[in-house]
């Protein structure tokens, strides 16, 4: 799709603006391999960039107008750099990035652009972060803005928090900007330290299944889980005065002080504490080239999310069950906030077609819903594309 998409961007730009684009960039979506609901507990996450991207091509203007055509929405959005107003549309993500760049004192000029993306929206694969990072990367290239990858990721997160008004974490922007082919990225959500982890899937693919279930309960459940985790920390501080987040608690300590916690709070804390440990074990397994151990950790993560954290749903559980029934699947779990969205599985290349057929048919039979399946390897983060 990528080369076709770049050609489509270039030809559409020629058609809409009467010239060839001076620059084309892309930024990928992502899937979180393991480390769910650990981010707001100062823990660890392990995302990977996927081969679904937002691509932007364009040229500078000599005024302060921005004019962008979206191939996905088949519409123009035009606005002035002097008056960035939120309109609850896709261009808000671009405006938010420009607003943050201006607040940092960077000079941004007008531009014309065409954009297209194939990161599925509302699927939990982070189309919004890909759009923010692609926009920031595009503008920085054009206007000679020197900015580290980490600084750009943080700027994009601020754009989403402050301009768009979504209280997202940092993981999505980090991996979209800093991803590297053949690697996952372990991010420490406390200090934003990160390390590239070899994710060489020789003979295997990342397979994402979109349940097509809209994630309706996410906001209320998210706030409830967050307060349960904070309550757990508060109660455990009676015996562990130095902890400030569940990240600081080991499984052994949690078991030792179980009596301090109501049963539900204990289960919520147990998910987060064991999930942090699973992320670290997953990194060790990948560094040792032990994919079967990595797959087993994915499976354990799903059971913990389903039973202890209770953020799965019937459809995600069915997808995971169907995935695991295919010989050649070494691990499968829900990914993202839960209550819908996607699952992620690691599947032998020769089993991918059987996986696709078996999971699609089984899922439709049991739910009446047609799932979507996306197959990827670990890809690079934001990059300049050659025209």
| Binding-site positions for substrate | 36-39, 222
**Whether residue 166 sits in one domain with residue 79:** yes
**Whether residue 51 sits in one domain with residue 83:** yes
Report how far residue 332's alpha carbon sits from residue 243's, in angstroms, rounded to the nearest whole number: 32
Q: What is the pLDDT of residues 152-172, one digit of tens each?
A: 999 999 999 899 887 777 888
**Whether residue 269 sits in one domain with residue 189:** no
**Whether residue 195 sits in one domain with residue 210:** no
**Whether residue 271 sits in one domain with residue 177:** no
Phi (first) and psi of residue 39, to 5 degrees: -60, -45
Q: Rounded to two decimals, what is the model's pTM? A: 0.91
**Contact by Cβ (8 Å): 189, 359:** no
**Contact by Cβ (8 Å): 293, 285:** yes
**Residue scoring higher pLDDT (118 or 314):** 314
Q: Is the pLDDT of residue 219 over 70?
A: no
Residues 6+ apart with CB under 8 A from 132: 93, 96, 97, 156, 159, 160, 173, 176
**Whether residue 223 sits in one domain with residue 89:** no
* Residues spanned by the domain of 252: 205-376
Q: What is the pLDDT of residues 54-86, one digit of tens each?
A: 999 999 999 999 999 999 999 999 999 999 999
Average pLDDT, the chain: 93
Least confident piece of the model among 103-112, 149-158, 215-224: 215-224
DSSP string, 300-346: HHHHHHHHTS----HHHHHHHHHHHTSTTEEEEEEESSSSSSEEEEE
Query: Into how many domains does the chain fold?
Result: 2
**Whether residue 75 sits in one domain with residue 148:** yes
Q: Is 51 one of the annotated active-site residues of the chain?
A: no
Domain CATH number, residue 276: 3.30.70.890
**Contact by Cβ (8 Å): 144, 23:** no
Q: What is the pLDDT of residues 5-23, one digit of tens each?
A: 899 999 999 999 999 999 9
Q: Per-residue confidence at 1, pLDDT binned at 50, 70, 90?
A: low
Percent of the chain's residues with pLDDT above 70: 96
Domain CATH number, residue 133: 3.30.230.10
**Whether residue 371 sits in one domain with residue 357:** yes
- Beta carbons within 10 angstroms of residue 306's beta carbon: 19
The CA–CA distances, whole Å, from 117 to 28, 97, 179, 238 equal 9, 18, 18, 50
Q: Per-residue confidence at 200, pLDDT binned at 50, 70, 90?
A: confident
| Binding-site positions for Mg(2+) | 128, 160
Q: What is the pLDDT of residue 215?
A: 66
Q: What is the pLDDT of residue 387?
A: 75
| Binding-site positions for ATP | 70, 122-128
Q: What is the pLDDT of residues 304-363, one digit of tens each?
A: 999 999 999 999 999 999 999 999 999 999 998 888 889 999 999 999 999 999 999 999
**Whether residue 190 sits in one domain with residue 226:** no
**Whether residue 177 sits in one domain with residue 259:** no
Which residue out of 42, 92, 172, 276 is catalytically annotated? 172
**Whether residue 52 sits in one domain with residue 158:** yes
Q: What is the pLDDT of residue 122?
A: 64
């Amino acid at each position: 799709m990528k080369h076709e998409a770049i050609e489509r961007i270039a030809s559409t730009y020629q058609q809409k603006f009467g010239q060839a684009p001076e620059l084309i960039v892309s930024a990928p979506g992502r899937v979180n391999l393991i480390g769910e609901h650990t981010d707001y507990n100062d823990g660890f996450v392990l995302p990977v960039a996927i081969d679904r991207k937002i691509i932007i091509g364009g040229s500078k203007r000599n005024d302060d107008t921005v004019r962008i055509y979206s191939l996905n929405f088949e519409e123009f959005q035009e606005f002035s750099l002097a008056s960035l107003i939120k309109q609850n549309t896709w261009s808000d993500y671009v405006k938010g990035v420009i607003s943050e760049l201006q607040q940092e004192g960077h000079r941004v000029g007008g531009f014309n652009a065409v954009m297209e993306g194939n990161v599925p929206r509302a699927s939990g694969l982070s189309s919004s972060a890909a759009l923010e990072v692609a926009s920031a990367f595009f503008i920085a290239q054009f206007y000679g803005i020197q900015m580290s990858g980490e600084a750009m990721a943080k700027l994009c997160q601020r754009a989403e928090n402050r301009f768009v008004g979504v209280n997202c974490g940092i993981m999505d922007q980090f991996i979209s900007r800093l991803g590297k082919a053949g690697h996952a990225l372990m991010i420490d959500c406390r200090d934003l330290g990160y390390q590239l982890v070899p994710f060489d899937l020789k003979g295997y693919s990342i397979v994402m299944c979109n349940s097509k279930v809209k994630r309706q309960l996410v906001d209320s459940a998210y706030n409830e889980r967050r307060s349960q985790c904070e309550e757990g920390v508060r109660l455990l501080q009676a015996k562990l005065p130095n902890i400030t987040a569940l990240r600081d608690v080991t499984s052994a300590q949690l078991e030792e002080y179980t009596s301090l916690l109501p049963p539900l709070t204990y289960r919520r804390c147990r998910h987060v504490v064991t999930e942090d440990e699973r992320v670290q074990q997953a990194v060790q397994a990948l560094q040792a080239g032990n994919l079967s151990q990595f797959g087993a950790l994915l499976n354990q993560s799903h059971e913990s999310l389903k039973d202890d954290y209770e953020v799965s749903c019937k459809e995600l559980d069915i997808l995971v069950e169907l995935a695991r029934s295919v010989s050649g699947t070494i691990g499968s779990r829900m990914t993202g906030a839960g209550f819908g969205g996607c699952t992620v599985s690691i599947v032998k290349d020769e089993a991918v077609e059987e996986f696709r057929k078996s999971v699609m048919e089984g899922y439709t039979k049991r739910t009446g819903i047609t799932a979507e399946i996306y197959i990827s390897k670990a890809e690079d983060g934001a990059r300049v594309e050659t025209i």
